[in-house]
Structure 1
Amino acid sequence: MTDAYSTLKISLAGGVAYVVIDNPPINLLDAALMTDLDRFADAMSGAHDIRVIVFDSADPDFFVAHGDMTAADDPAAFVALPLAPEQDQSLNPMMRLHERIRSLPQITIGKLRGLARGGGAELLSAMDLRFASLERAAMAQMECRLGIIPGAGGTAYLPGLVGRARTLEIILGGQLVDAATAERIGWVNRAVPDTELDHVVDTLAARIAALPPGVARAATEAVDTAVESTTHGLRKANELLKGLFDEPAATRLARAALAAGAHTRDGERRLEALVDDIT
């Protein structure tokens, strides 16, 4: 699987799949890259040993530049791309692809070191988490300036990330949003110094991958349900919590925490480090 793609470089380590987008000269989200991303997502949908997917770019200047503008010359060929057949077929192929990625059972993390506009920004917005280089990264939805609207999920994903008013500012203004601003408004989780970006993302990916089986997926499902309805979210969290309490890991880890000093004044002052030591 790791060498089966022309525009992606895949490596696997410790329950994490590292995906490096490599589609010169600017990592255009064209038919070749979309097809490879779709094939990779299909492979990951049943890969239970992979718990986290990190998306990165081989080009430090461009994560994914944007969608292929030549699609405007032959929209029928674009619409006919056979991507994500399990998704709603009334959606265009790029929307279906991003929904397939958004629906993956793994936690998806985008590592943004360069520019991501249009479909590239929407690909990032479809992921669970996004981290950006403070000095180098920027994002934009510039489609309205070109006579259309974001067509790969931006109008649907951004309101939940940054709110309605800022979504409209991003889409209607069409300006480049730097990493610091993207962090402040919620488009990315954090903007960190470029020299720290790899460490921040890789450390988080490893921590998530090391969680007991089912925990990351349960947390994500509970949060996603709560976004739609607080009441339904609480019920879903309660249902999932009961299932996790039935797993041996919950009892084993609680006992280990107590033995290591939880419930004591000294242990509680350093509880995060204590938990790290037992997991």
Structure 2
Amino acid sequence: MTALALEVAEFTLDVGTRRLRALNDVDLCVGAGEIVGLIGESGSGKSLAALSIAGLLPKATGHTVAGAIRVGGVEGASRRAQVGFIFQEPMSALNPALRIDRQLVDAIRARRDADRATARQHAATLLAQLELPDPERVLRSYPHQLSGGMRQRVVIALALSGTPSLLIADEPTTALDVTVQLDVLRLIRDQARERNLGVLLITHDVNVVAYMAARLYVMYGGWIVEAGPTAQVLAAPRHPYTRALLASRPDRVARGAAIPAIDGFVPPLAAVTTGCRFADRCALVEARCHTPSALTVEGDVHIARCWKAGAGGSDAS
């Protein structure tokens, strides 16, 4: 059995003084060397899940958790050292007032017992491995002196500076042009293979997960509503939300035709529901969908939380 870089088991998150339920019984795993996708609309809980896994939830908001998160077999606050995080906007992830060498060398020294000269050499090696030309020039540069693709490579280097077991890539190609996007994705894939890294790839772009991920989780309203091998989920989605999400892809619509939109909005945390969170937007809704028993998981390696899922999804079309 492949070792697990990440195991999330029945994880629940309540936030704020009103203890609003943000994540519900999330089960998710990533194997060592495996790339796994997590998709869903804005507000579905993807980034909250990522911050929870990385141990980066802001304390000011107040939160309570249940369930377990293990990264590289490590639980509790010490799991943070096992996580590398690639943020979606490199200019926000880098300090514009500091040269790259200061930022990357300090990150390496915070994670390793190394003097500044040794850490700087390691920083140059990391940048070279990420195919940045003239690493020494990059180290001497400020973020604004680098292109978007170069900045994102620096952010990847920061994420890899502590030899993590898990890499979380949260919309890693946002604001990059198509050619640079492909280069960044290829680098992430190559690093996962070479370092035996588990990668949790969070994105709204279905084409990205189709290209990158072996398995796929679909999140809605704080629930994992569907999961399975990426090719199976994309070819034969079992949950009505997944089908609606895939139908709204621009590349699935004829030129000049309107892009189908999902009616309504992701429910806010304050919205109390006793059944399926997607029920109010679902064209297949039934009375039983508003009961807690509607939240069942059927199937084998391809699962969905829906009465309509069925074995093989034959009654979900």
Structure 2 length as normaliser, TM-score? 0.28
Decide which structure has greater strand share: 2
Q: Which has the higher contact order (CA 8 A, sep 6+)?
A: 2
Structure 1 length as normaliser, TM-score? 0.31
Decide which structure has greater helix share: 1
